[in-house]
Structure 1
Amino acid sequence: MSSTQTAPSSTGVQASPGLWLAFVILVGLNLRPFLTSSGTLARQVAEGLNMPLSSLAWLTLLPMMVMGLGAFCMPSLRRVLALRHVLITSLLLLCLGCVLRWFVPNGASLIATALICGLGVSLLQAGMPGLIKEQFPRHIAQVTGVYSATLMGGGALGAQITPWVSSLTDSWRIALAFWALPISVALWIAWKVVPREAPGANLSPPSLSLLARPRTWTLIVCFGLINGGYASLVTWLATFYQDRGWTAEASGSLVAVLSVAQAIAAFGLPTLAAKNKDRRMWVWLALACQFVGFLAFAYIPDMAPYLWAIIIGIGLGGCFSLLLLVALDHFPDAARAGTLSALMQGGGFPIAALFPMISVQLREISNGFQAGWMLHAAMAVLVAIMAWSFQPSQYANKMRRDDAP
């Protein structure tokens, strides 16, 4: 895999495509463990901090809200701060949030660490799609798939390793703080790879003009509804099966299987879709997997839970990376494509953040998660209908106002 260009690193030497790819992989791996790790230890955390279980929804809701706000702010930040400063500061915030989890005395402080982590993640994931298009212009679909796959794979590692570290150390606090270690490695790579540049280099276009286009809002709603399913599952799937008698380790393994399936689909579907500019067939396939998986969790959760996790993981991972790709497809240049992708995430993540809270409220009303799973199945149908408009031949027309001088 090669790129048509490389950028000088902080040492003054041009960073190779291999180093950039390593950076993309390491960043992706570190964006989700802070979410999945707390979900697998939900009961221990709630008991240790004397929190009601429903309060743990804030550990997902607030970070995802911040992810959205950060994505909206990214184009403006790039006008006053160099990309290197933004990325390194973001990784430092993510690392700090994880370290502080070792010392949390109460629920409010734990939620505050989630907020800090969410702020760091928000700027990282807002900047990555545009960076990928800039550094790998001839391999956008493949590298977007790699990035999405590592993002989902990091979620799998968080779900699988955290209960094991908790059992080994007899401390859920240490288990949650453990994830500062791989973030430190990503920080070191960023220091080596990301070039020094003046603030405002490769400026993105103003966001307001893109927000005036209905297509931007279609992408925002689709992205938000799809990631709402992920947010609910990463927060409550382990608890759902623990309510059915599973241990924390077993339910964590189930979340890990789901995340591995996400990672495979996040890489595989964009790679398959790269052969055709019309991505809709693959989007519909991924949405069909989500629909089947959520209905299975709602009605036959005990029949084949690992199979349901794989099916729904394929749907979630495939949709995430395909929607990133669809957003990037709307413009030929990295600056505008990256801004559109950032706006899609900026508006989408706050929508997604609401669903864990909605799911737990439905659980309290109906005495189970079935209604929440059915809601997400319905959202998959809605997004499938909206995705009909993602016709490549119409992209230029849909965004024409932004092409005007």
Structure 2
Amino acid sequence: MRGALNLLLVVLLALNLRPILTSIGPLLEPMRQSTGLGYQQAALLTALPVLCMGLVPLLQPWLRRWLSEHGGMLAGLAAIALACLWRLQLDSAWALIVSAVVAGLGVAVVQGMMPGLVNRWFPGRLAATMGLYSAALMSGGGLAAVLGPSITAYFGHWQFGLGLWALPALLAIVAWTVLRPRQDTPALAGGGGGHWFGNRRAWLLALYFGLINGGYTSMVAWLPAYHLEHGGTAQGGGELVGLMTIFQVCGALGLPLLLRRLVDRRPGLWLALLIQLAGFLGLLLAPASAMGLWVALIGLGLGACFSLSLTLTLEHLRTPGEAGSLAAFVQGVGFIVTGIVPYITGWLRDASGDFQASWTLLTCTVLAMLLVTVRFAPKGYARAIAREGRVAEAVLN
């Protein structure tokens, strides 16, 4: 019974971590017409929350001194709910941007705790549970993208398409308060943080996580606009993000399950990256002929990459406290990188006049990550962390 309640909490918490990002793209045109929002400012609505998702986990070694896991989870969910409620009445570009920062801070606190929490609750089913967490996270994003235009049409204002996502956040607050385990609740982020700044393997994992997931933030930010440029509609753009999300969920759940007997995560990561590569090459070479297929391939690869890259990080260390601390660092640096990517791809769109340069950059990134994946042999996990940690300690002393 306790395990089922914990799984339910994982799902409810994860559902709240992406609507603040994915609800923007399908409603971008009415938002721009109403507020005068430019493409560079629109990029901030995605980039700033993701940067928050990076900066806050890096501060967790200090935050945990005064903020418990329970208090941090409630504060994070409350910030998401507050930002969404605020968006119900916004009418200016800068207010939208500030609401994105508030929501991003809330997501950052919740998301930073999730890998350590999953590792502590489900140590024997880590890959499968991380897959479920990733699938729920992506499902929340897909629902926001698909339903946002319909909600806007029903209420007559785009603010409702952004603001109604306060409801699942409020539900998660109630569920966490009532259903959370009462025993063995650690301080925020678990034990052992902070020392990863001097560890080269931690930096490699962080940059890998950031770049391997940079395609997601770029697709969420620009896929609806790209669809409009090819004669589509706002509803169609949201449905494309929804299609991508369906295949992300399939990738996050299916590939880890298919390869569950493998200790080595590299075959799964190589396969996921190759699937992404096929999708981006399709957008580059034949976008009009099968856009749905290319988007589905990109989603399938992105979903598997997110789940497997987090599992790869957690498996580098044996204790939940240290593994959670490493995951917080990896997500911290990684999401900063991930947040910068859509800003760069948006700048390339403005500079070149279309999205081909943006897709070219993402294709090159996938190719580079295919090569980096060679470094992550399971037998070298402990040795790489210990050796590079000793090197860093010697330098610091």
- What TM bracket, shorter-length normalisation? over 0.9
Equivalent residue in structure 2 for 1:63, among 49, 53, 59 = 49
Fraction of identical pairs, as percent: 37
Equivalent residue in structure 1 for 2:216, among 220, 224, 230 = 230
The answer as to whether partners of 2:39 and 2:346 remain within 8 angstroms in 1 is no
User: What does 1:365-380 correspond to in 2, within 5 Å?
Assistant: 365-380=351-366
Task: Tell me whether 1:304 sits opposite 2:293 in the alignment.
Answer: no
Residue identity opposite 2:167 in structure 1: L
Match of 1:240 in 2: 226
Aligned CA RMSD, in angstroms, stands at: 1.8
- Aligned partner of residue 207 in structure 1, secondary structure: coil
Task: Tell me whether 1:50 sits opposite 2:36 in the alignment.
Answer: yes
Q: Distance in 2 between matches of 1:402 and 1:95?
A: 41
Match of 2:91 in 1: 105
List runs of 5+ in structure 1 lacking aligned partners: 1-14
Task: Tell me whether 1:250 sits opposite 2:219 in the alignment.
Answer: no
- Aligned partner of residue 88 in structure 2, secondary structure: helix
- Aligned partner of residue 230 in structure 2, secondary structure: coil
Equivalent residue in structure 1 for 2:9, among 12, 17, 23 = 23
Residue identity opposite 1:79 in structure 2: R
Match of 1:388 in 2: 374
Equivalent residue in structure 1 for 2:158, among 172, 181, 199 = 172
- Aligned partner of residue 277 in structure 1, secondary structure: coil
User: How far apart are residue 51 of structure 1 and its match?
Assistant: 1.6
Equivalent residue in structure 1 for 2:112, among 126, 130, 146 = 126
User: How far apart are residue 214 of structure 1 and its match?
Assistant: 0.9
Match of 1:12 in 2: none
Match of 1:8 in 2: none
Match of 1:282 in 2: 268
Task: Tell me whether 1:39 sits opposite 2:13 in the alignment.
Answer: no
Equivalent residue in structure 2 for 1:186, among 172, 175, 181 = 172
Residue identity opposite 2:72 in structure 1: V
How many residues in Structure 1 have an aligned counterpart in Structure 2? 391
Match of 1:295 in 2: 281
Q: Distance in 2 between matches of 1:384 and 1:265?
A: 17
Q: Distance in 1 between matches of 2:115 and 2:185?
A: 19
The answer as to whether partners of 2:81 and 2:169 remain within 8 angstroms in 1 is yes
Match of 1:76 in 2: 62
The answer as to whether partners of 2:189 and 2:325 remain within 8 angstroms in 1 is no
Q: Distance in 2 between matches of 1:272 and 1:362?
A: 37
Residue identity opposite 2:173 in structure 1: L
- Aligned partner of residue 139 in structure 1, secondary structure: helix
Match of 1:7 in 2: none
The answer as to whether partners of 2:68 and 2:188 remain within 8 angstroms in 1 is no
User: What does 1:323-338 correspond to in 2, within 5 Å?
Assistant: 323-338=309-324
Per-residue CA deviations over 1:275-298 (Å, capped at 9, x if unaligned) read: 111010000011111111111112
User: How far apart are residue 403 of structure 1 and its match?
Assistant: 8.5
Cα distance change on mapping 1:200 and 1:313 into 2, 3 Å: closer
Cα distance change on mapping 1:74 and 1:155 into 2, 3 Å: same
User: How far apart are residue 150 of structure 1 and its match?
Assistant: 0.6
Residue identity opposite 2:254 in structure 1: G
Q: Distance in 1 between matches of 2:251 and 2:354?
A: 29
- Aligned partner of residue 399 in structure 1, secondary structure: helix
Equivalent residue in structure 2 for 1:149, among 135, 139, 156 = 135
Residue identity opposite 2:108 in structure 1: S
List runs of 5+ in structure 2 lacking aligned partners: none
The answer as to whether partners of 1:80 and 1:200 remain within 8 angstroms in 2 is no
Residue identity opposite 2:102 in structure 1: I
Q: Distance in 2 between matches of 1:96 and 1:212?
A: 37
Farther-moved stretch of structure 1 (354-363 vs 204-213): 204-213
The answer as to whether partners of 2:47 and 2:343 remain within 8 angstroms in 1 is yes
The answer as to whether partners of 1:297 and 1:308 remain within 8 angstroms in 2 is yes
The answer as to whether partners of 1:82 and 1:196 remain within 8 angstroms in 2 is no
User: How far apart are residue 195 of structure 1 and its match?
Assistant: 4.2
User: How far apart are residue 77 of structure 1 and its match?
Assistant: 2.1
Structure-2-length-normalised TM-score: 0.95
Structure-1-length-normalised TM-score: 0.93
Task: Tell me whether 1:159 sits opposite 2:136 in the alignment.
Answer: no
Match of 1:272 in 2: 258
User: How far apart are residue 57 of structure 1 and its match?
Assistant: 0.2
